[in-house]
Structure formats: structure tokens, C-alpha cells
Chains A and B, each alone.
Chain A
Amino acid sequence: MQKYAVFTGSCQSLTAIQYLHQSGQLACVVLVDAQPTPDLMQLQHWLQQSGIKTLAYNLSDDKDLLSQLDSLAVNRGLIYLFRHKVRPALIQYFSGHLVNIHPSPLPDYRGPFPLYWQLRNGEDKTKLTLHQVTELLDCGDIATDLEIEIHPFDTISCVQYKVAQALPELVAKYCQLDEKQGITWHKQGETSDKTAPQVAQQQLIVNWHKQTSKQVVNMARAGNADAGCALFQFRQEMFQLLQASVVESPLIGVQAGTVIEVDRHTGLVIKTINGALRLDVIGTQQGIFDGYRFAVLFGLEAGFTLMPENN
């Protein structure tokens, strides 16, 4: 009988937990050792309400955890959105049955922000990849995967939701293969040019000199609405760019980053290196506005530039 411990720190893993719980395969949930966030607190609350046993991960030592897992007869481990790198002792405990779900077609987008970078790079599909946990992050052999379409309008929250909805199917597929002892582990490719590192603050600021319209559009939706929100500068202030759309512009000789139109219907349009961009939704400390209202309220006029040195 398979008895699972799910290692997580986010409500986004609830669908997988629910599946294992309802199919009688869930022994416990191991929660991250971190400051409580609303997401983590909500998860804890739900687990408590559902009567699911929770264990705490200890950042310094695995002994207690291993003992508790043993007492619960846990023989399978599933990691999803768990912020810690697990130690060798825990990997050994599961004897090859500790798996991680990584939302990218591995080996592409290894790292902590796979969905962000896939959206930012304009990928039109992704994969939920279930792979063995090894000491090298996101590098273990793959048991199974599931393809997910990315709509051109999807934001990071949309894709996170799609991934959450697809989790039970992937977990069920894996459990069934495991039960029938039908898992075939596939090696990953060694390297990929596409990675998913932490996002530095500077990478969140729109670079009008270098980024194309499409790149800014993707950057905005990759960060909407999340900690990795795209930013642009006007005067000395930073504003969040939550949504933008590519528009055509025949204008030549106008510097990228220049406001080329403010109109109630066509909105706030900015010149880019390969055309133009409409800033659809902008987050400010005073609220969220469409581009037109933002321009009127904040005094952004045609001919102004969003390049810092000229404002």
C-alpha cells in the first residue's frame, strides 16, 4: 500500500493533496519551515479543517521528521512548491520514491521561477514534469509529465491555476504506474539554455531601449499580479505594469519609451524599438488604472518619455 507524505508550502498544491486524501493514499503533509504567509496560513487552516495530519519540516535536522514519517508508515514522498532543498537523509529514506513536480518541460527552466520565465519568454505551452528527487535540484529522472497549453492572455496566476487543476491527473497517472510497477524512468537532457533563476529587481524594470513590444507584454503578464510585477519609471516614481498589448505604429525616428498617444479609446500608447505598446493596466499607490486614466491623472502627455534621464 502506498502511503504519501506531501511536502509543500502553498495552497496551490491542494488539488494534489485532495486527490491523495480522497484515494486513501495520503498519510500526512509536511509543511515548510517559514514565516507564515497568507497562503501558508490558509493551507494550514484547510488541512486542519480536513483532519489531515501535518508535520513540520525542520531546517536544521531530519531525525524527528524521519521518525514521524516512519511511524506513519510513509513510503512515498511528493514535493510541490516546497521552498527547501531536501537533505540526503530524507532522499535515502524514500529509496527512490521521493518525487518532485516541476512546472516546466525539464531540462528547460530549471530553477525557482519556472512559470514566470516561461511566460516572460512567451512560451505557448508548458509541462508538469514529475521527476525523481536527487541532490541536484530539478535534475532527477522523469517518470511522467503532462502538457498544459498557455493562452496568449494568461497571466502567472492563470497558469498557476491551470497547473493546480492538472496536478491530480498527473499524480493519478504516477500512482497508477507505481501501483502496477510500470514506471519507466527517463534521463533528462544535461543542460538547457532556458533557465528559471531568481528575478533580480533590475530585471523587473522595462528597458525601452532593448525590449520589443512583445517582450514587454510577456513581462507584464508574467508578473501579474505577483511579486515579480513589471515596473516602469516616470519622473522619479515606479509604477506596476500589469497588462500591455502590442499595437502597430508607423512612426519612425521617435525614441523608444516615448508616449505617442493618449486617447480615451486607444489608451496610452508608448513607442517601442519595433512598434508600439498600449499600457492597458497600471498599478500605482493610489490604485489601479487603465492607461488613459493613468496618463490624465499623473500628467503623462504625448511626447513625454519614460526614459529616466529625460524626465
Chain B
Amino acid sequence: MEKPKVENRSVLDFADPHVDELLKHSIRTQLESLLKAKLTTAQRQQLLQKSFVDAMALVLSDSKVEHKTLVKAFSAMYDNAVQSMALAQLSEKLLTKQYVSASGLIMSPYHCKHTIKDIYRIQGYARGVDKAIQSKLSHTDSITILYPACGPFAPLLLPLLSYYKDSQKYTKEQLQVILVDVHPGAVLALKQLVKDLQLDEFILRIEEADATTYVPEQSIDLLVLEAMQHGFTKEGQLSIAKHLVQFLTIEGLIIPQNVSVRGMMVIGENEFNQQWKEVEYSHSLNMDASAQQDRVELGEILSINKSTLLNMQTLELQEGIKVIPANQITLPAGIEDMDKRILAIYAQIDTFAEEGVGQYDSGITHPRPDMSFYIDTKPRDVEHSHFVANSGDSVQFYYQLSGLPGFVPVKV
């Protein structure tokens, strides 16, 4: 009788994933290094976990960390995360599917994967979430955290959980996390990453669901949410928050605790070009004083926090379009060059307890120019999408809850 073949697992158990061609092309450097190293699964997972822990140790540190040190740490985290994604063996269809849903843009895992490199977004959230957890656990033994629209890497929580596990700061008895995403590809990648990070003990469940209709089985103590693009547009942050706020415990917190969306009239060249010519990277700390002085602030257009969400009224317009009335502002008079200025809308994100994401710290807080908003001037060919007003006019802003949410100004 022939002797059965026994695989030598210690030799063959290195990662040689069957990766979709598109992903292979996109992350070829990471794959090459993965294959070249011929790591065992355990070794690869160890490197992945270490990269997550190292990045969090840096962002949670109270001492100043050099930008390049952060870049290096976050690049390592990204490289290891995409290696994990490769092992999830997503089909091309799941990898690239992206669409506009009724409440916002759903990005593909292929495009989402870069968010884990967004240093200051993750820093602002991680530090805020860390403080919020600390605050909650000072009053109670355990908390349930919900992270909807978390994407394939859940970058605002998984690195933090890795850090907690490594440092034994919190236990699975203290923290239970629900991860939700509507994209089946993101959910597959997420499951692989949670497995590779060996964080299953912290994860109550991973759900494939639309966050704007998702009903959690238990009350939520902490809702961690980041589903927006610059100018508070395109993604469903507001719809998701507005729906899920009802499932928060009475003491429950939303991270970010407040998002203040503001408008300003700027000279595009100064704001978006000149002030960044001499700096290494765009960040609120690197903003140019003269460019800031050159701005004409219009004030807050919308504030999103637990209180405003609970009190938010939705109006339904013709054709079923839903809008939320935002603030009314008066366009300042006496600005000589108003006709040369463009509207830019930006979000100031306060995650928790003085922590946040400032202007230009991240793509999501980058001021968004609105080229359809004209003050004291008119476009050459007026289209229905153009807004034309004069200095001194009052403008009522509405927030449209459509597939691509955004602000709509109306002259009062």
C-alpha cells in the first residue's frame, strides 16, 4: 500500500495567494515582498500586527512625532493590510464594484484601501476614540462599539484594537465591536484582516448591511463614523448618523462628537496653490497665515452632533428628494474682490475631547471649491445648477440627502 503523502506544513505554509490581476497590479510591491520573504502565516500575521501596533503607539503618544516617522509607520501598516486583502481572494467583481446608493457613494475595496494611509484622519479619530473609550469605561464595565461603513480595513478601530490587545490596555470583556459595511468585498477583506490580526475576541460580529437601515441587536455606547468626503459631500455620513443615533444609549457617544461644516469665499490661487508651494505636506499646522487672512469666512453652515441629529427635520421636495434645512448666512458686503472669489466648504471634525481632524489634515477636511456659486458676477452661460447672488444677500443652505449628498444654496 502506498504511503499517503503528508504535506510538510511548516515548509508550505507561506503566503502564495491567488490574487486578482487588478489587485496584483496595484499592490505588486507588497506582493513581491510577501512572496520573496516566504513567511509562514504566523510570521506574516506577526508583522501585520506589529505594524498596526507601532502606528498606534506613535499616534497615541503625547510627544511630538516627526511626519516622516508617521509616514513610514503608516506605509508599513498599509503594506501589511493589502497583503492581508490579497489573501481574502476577492474576485475582480467584488474588488472593483462601486456605486451611488440612495444615500451616498459606496466605494470599491480597490479604492478604499488607501484610507489606511491617511495619517492625520486616523490619528484624530484614534486619539478621540481612545479617550472616549477611556471615558466610557470609567463609568461602566463594558461597552459596545458600532463602526458602520467601516470599509475593508476598518482603519479607525482595528489598529486601535491591535494596540489594546498588545498592550493589554483593554480586554474583550470590556470592548465589543460591531463592524458593518454594505460592500460584500469589503466584508470579505475585513474578515480576513480581523483573522490575521487575531482580533476575533473583540469583534461581536461583522455584518454586511446598509448602515442607513441597519438595526443593531443591542444598544450602542459608542458610534464611530467616518463616511464623508471633502466639503461634507458624496458619502452618507449624515444619513447613517441620523439613522443610528436612535440606537445609542442615553449616555452614548458619537465619534466625531461634532462636525462643523463652514463656508468661506477664497481666491482659489491663494488658497489652493500658493499657500502650499513651500511646505512639505498639507496640514492645518502648515497653513499660511496670509492665506488665512485673505479668506472671507461665511460662518457655520451645518453642525452635526448627537443633539442636532436628534432634532434634525427632513423636508421632502418634489420628486421625493429629501433635504435638511441648514443655516442661513448673509453674504458680507463691501468685499472689493468678491466677484473673483469662489465658495469653499470645509469640515472641522472634533472627534472627542480636544482631539480632531483639522483643515487640510486629511482629504475629508480639505476645503472643497464649489465652482457653481457666483457672487457679484455671473457665469458666461447660466445653467440651472448655477447659484448667482450679490453681496449682502441672505442665503439659506439645505443639505440634500440624495445618492450624492451635498449642500444646495437658495437665495432668501
* A-contacting 9-mer, from B93-101, B122-130, B216-224: B93-101
Q: A301-B111, A302-B106 are in contact. Are A262 and B98 (CB under 8 A)?
A: yes
Q: Which residue of the partner chain, among A252, A260, A263, contacts B97 with CB atoms under 8 Å?
A: A263
Q: What is the 8 Å Cβ interface bit string for chain B, positions 356-383, against chain A (1 contact, 0 not)?
A: 0000000000000001100000000001
Q: Does A56 contact B (CB under 8 A)?
A: no
Which residue of chain B is the closest to A254 with respect to CB atoms? B403
Give Cα A301 to B110, complex, Å. 11
Residue of A nearest to B111 (CB): A301
Residues of A within 8 Å of B234, CB to CB, are 303
B322 — which chain A residues lie within 8 A by C-beta? 253
With both beta carbons as reference points, the residue of chain B lying nearest to A264 in the complex is identified as: B93
Q: Is B319 touching A252 in the complex (CB atoms < 8 A)?
A: yes
A169 at the interface (CB under 8 A from B): no
* Complex CA–CA separation, A303 to B321 (angstroms): 18
Q: Which residue from B22, B97, B111, B402 sits with its C-beta under 8 Å from A251?
A: B402
- A108–B326 Cα gap in the complex (Å)? 54
Say yes or no: A258-B100 contact (C-beta < 8 A), given A303-B404, A309-B371: yes
Contact (Cβ within 8 A) A302 B385:
no
User: B107 an interface residue at 8 Å Cβ cutoff?
Assistant: yes
Taking CB atoms, residues of chain A closer than 8 Å to B258 are none
| Distance of A292 Cα from B97 Cα, bound (Å) | 10
A252 and B371 within 8 A (CB): no
Taken together as a complex, chains A and B put the C-alpha atoms of A310 and B385 apart, in Å, by 11
- Tell me the bound Cα distance from A265 to B97 in angstroms: 9
In the bound assembly, the distance between CA atoms of A261 and B97 in angstroms comes to 8
CB distance from A252 to the nearest CB of B (A): 5
Contacts of B400 in A (CB 8 A): 253
Give the distance in Å from the alpha carbon of A255 to the alpha carbon of B384 in the complex: 11
Which residues of B sit under 8 angstroms from A172, Cβ to Cβ?
none
A189 located at the interface, meaning its Cβ lies under 8 Å from any Cβ of chain B in the complex: no
Q: For B381, give the chain A residue with the smallest CB separation.
A: A309
Chain A residues 260 to 311 lying within 8 A of chain B, measured CB to CB, are 260-265, 269, 271, 292, 296, 301-303, 309-310
Would B402 and A302 count as touching, CB distance under 8 A?
Answer: no
Q: Is there contact, CB below 8 Å, between B404 and A258?
A: yes
Q: How far is the CA of A258 from the CA of B97 in the complex (A)?
A: 16
Question: Are B105 and A303 in contact (CB-based, < 8 A)?
Answer: yes
**In the complex, A302 Cα to B107 Cα: how many Å?**
7
Contact indicator B98/A302 (Cβ below 8 Å): yes
Report the bound CA distance from A239 to B382 in whole Å: 25
Q: Chain B, 308-336, contact with A by CB distance < 8 Å: what is the 0/1 string?
A: 00000000000111100000000000000
Are B403 and A260 within 8 A (Cβ)? Answer: yes
Collect the chain A residues with CB atoms within 8 Å of residue B107's CB: 301-302
Complex contact B92–A264 (CB within 8 A) = yes
* Most chain A beta-carbon neighbours within 10 Å: one of B93, B97, B106, B402: B97
CB closest residue in chain B, given A309: B371
Q: Is B215 an interface residue (CB 8 A)?
A: no
Does A162 touch B at the CB level, under 8 Å? no
Q: With both chains docked as a complex, state the minimum distance between the C-beta of B385 and any C-beta of chain A, in angstroms.
A: 7
**B102 close to A (CB within 8 Å):** yes
Q: A253-B321, A253-B400, A309-B371 are in contact. Are A261 and B99 (CB under 8 A)?
A: yes
Interface residues of B in 65-114 (CB under 8 A from A): 92-93, 96-100, 102, 105-108, 111
Q: How far is the CA of A303 from the CA of B403 in the complex (A)?
A: 9
Residue of B nearest to A296 (CB): B96
Q: Let me know if A38 is at the binding interface, CB within 8 A.
A: no
- Whether the Cβ atoms of B99 and A262 lie closer than 8 Å is yes
Nearest residue (CB) in B for A307 is B385
Q: Which residues of A contact B371 (CB under 8 A)?
A: 309-310
Is there contact, CB below 8 Å, between A303 and B93?
Answer: no
Is the CB of A51 closer than 8 A to any CB of chain B? Answer: no
Q: Is A63 an interface residue (CB 8 A)?
A: no
| B102 partner residues in chain A, CB cutoff 8 A | 250-251
Q: Do B100 and A253 touch across chains, with their CB atoms under 8 A apart?
A: no
List, sorted by A's number, 30 A–B pairs whose CB atoms are closer than 8 Å.
A209-B384, A251-B102, A252-B321, A252-B402, A253-B321, A253-B400, A253-B402, A253-B403, A253-B404, A254-B402, A254-B403, A255-B404, A258-B100, A260-B403, A261-B97, A262-B96, A262-B97, A262-B99, A262-B108, A263-B93, A263-B98, A264-B96, A296-B96, A301-B98, A302-B99, A302-B100, A303-B100, A303-B234, A309-B372, A310-B371
Q: Which residues of A contact B (CB under 8 A)?
A: 209, 250-255, 258-265, 269, 271, 292, 296, 301-303, 309-310
Apart from the given pairs A263-B97, A301-B111, 7 other A-B contacts in the complex at a CB distance below 8 Å: A251-B102, A253-B403, A254-B100, A255-B385, A258-B404, A264-B92, A264-B96
Closest 7 CB pairs of A and B: A253-B402, A261-B99, A302-B98, A260-B100, A253-B321, A264-B93, A254-B403
